[in-house]
Homo-oligomer: A and B are copies of this chain.
Amino acid sequence: MPYDYLPKLLQPSDSKIVLLVLDGLGGLPIEAGGPTELEAAATPYMDRLASEGCLGQTIPIRAGITPGSGPAHLALFGYDPLEYEVGRGVLEACGVGLDVHLGDIAARGNFCTLDENGLISDRRAGRISSVEAMPAIERLQRIQIPSVELIVRQVKEHRFAVIMRGEGLHPHLNDTDPQRTGAAPLLIQAQQPSAERAAELFNQWVSEAREALTSQSKANGVTLRGFATDPGLPNYAETFGLKAACVAVYPMYRGVSKLVGMDVVPFEGEYPADEFAAVAKAWDDYDFFFIHIKKTDSMGEDGNFEGKARVIESVDAALPALLELNPAVLIVTGDHSTPALLKSHSWHPVPFLLWAPASHLPDSQTQFGERACAHGGLGAFPAMDTMSLALAHAGRLTKYGA
């Protein structure tokens, strides 16, 4: 842990912390001098919080580094994403709501099309639709291998997730996609001796999969990659002394939260108001709430500047329900930037709003936006400092040294 000095500074408190993450919040002006998505959005509540509280910018990973969703959230959760890596197989499994336990092996799977010689003629099985892929998924789900449990779940189109659960499994295995057509899928080989059992069992599974899929016209083969297990992240309760809850619509963010030991709060609906209502309902049971809003990122990825601004406005409009709960600390930020201008995640610093009425550092900012955050009292800081700032402002950290 980068913050191994924290656990011994923790002190008990009844104060509540809310970390509200608008995925891909950071944006850019469409034209020079124009507003960003966040600046264009009408956000009276966030602006009030900005006036009362303190702004800053986070660097998600390191200068210039564009984060994926996994590492970006790890950083916000207080873990250095260069030190702790959540493997791609685990993220894929989390993304479809599967739990990956320590010792499990999770992998990303692709259906592919094999020719009569067993060579790949299409690496994505003709980009088969999700509906078309369902019979093939069902066939994979019926495969059994003695001594291990197997879980297969459809992701989307040609993609699926697979988990193998059993004793003595190690995930140091190579990807099997040869990355070109005209070649056979690669055999799975152990990258170290401890992984030999897993290699053998996965090869057996692949071979049974091929038999099970012979009748399929497009999806008659599989490739696997990103073999990984639970990264064994230090537990949230021990690291930060917090009973923590996740309120998220998308399975992947629930999954990453579970990896650090958060409880996932179930709820109906998909709007910010639904998520905030779920927080209100669970308010007495937890110290810390991570709330995840996905659609800011989706709109950014689509290049939809206006749409992203509207999502931000919908979050703002729902904020009173959160504020009524009187959190000791409310943080509003993103995990990374997804400027509509770039239609992708980016490396830019991320707007950060800290509202903690008992102990605000004052700054002179009155609007929540990129330019204001660049002038904020918190300056620019690594995203993985978020948790220690939150704990401090919640009165949950005692003095270091005499």
Contacts and interface: CB of A to CB of B under 8 A. Distances in A.
Contacts of A81: 400-401
Most buried by B among A36, A68, A376, A401: A401
A401 B67 contact: yes
Interface in A374-402: 374-382, 385, 387-393, 397-402
A228 to B, nearest CB: 11
Contacts of A392: 63-66, 346-347
A29 interface: yes
Contacts of A347: 389, 392, 397
B70 A402 contact: yes
A364 B360 contact: no
A310 interface: no
Given A5-B65, A375-B375, A360 B28 contact: yes
B388 A377 contact: no
A112 to B, nearest CB: 20
B371 A28 contact: no
6 closest cross-chain pairs (CB), A and B: A379-B380, A64-B388, A64-B392, A68-B401, A63-B385, A71-B401
Contact of A361 (B52, B226, B349): B349
B364 A371 contact: yes
A104 interface: no
A273 interface: no
A1 interface: no
18 contacts: A9-B65, A28-B360, A32-B357, A32-B362, A61-B400, A64-B390, A65-B388, A66-B399, A67-B400, A71-B400, A81-B400, A346-B392, A347-B392, A347-B397, A349-B361, A374-B376, A379-B380, A380-B381
Given A36-B362, A72-B401, 6 more contacts: A62-B385, A66-B399, A70-B401, A85-B401, A361-B370, A379-B379
A92 B226 CA distance: 50
A363 interface: yes
Nearest to A66: B399
Interface string A60-94: 01111111111110000000011001101001100
A154 interface: no
A345 interface: yes
Q: Which of A81, A226, A357, A377 has the most CB of B within 10 A?
A: A377
Interface of A: 3, 5, 9, 28-29, 32-33, 36, 51-52, 57, 61-72, 81-82, 85-86, 88, 91-92, 226, 339, 341-342, 344-349, 357, 359-364, 370-371, 374-382, 385, 387-393, 397-402
Nearest to A86: B401
B397 A362 contact: no
A54 to B, nearest CB: 9
Contacts of A68: 399-402
Contact of A359 (B28, B65, B363, B402): B28
Nearest to A347: B392
Nearest to A61: B400
Given A63-B381, A381-B63, A402-B68, A82 B5 contact: yes
Nearest to A370: B362
A1 to B, nearest CB: 12
Contact of A65 (B64, B371, B397): B397
A378 B401 CA distance: 27
A281 to B, nearest CB: 29
B380 A371 contact: no
Contacts of A69: 401-402
Contacts of A9: 65
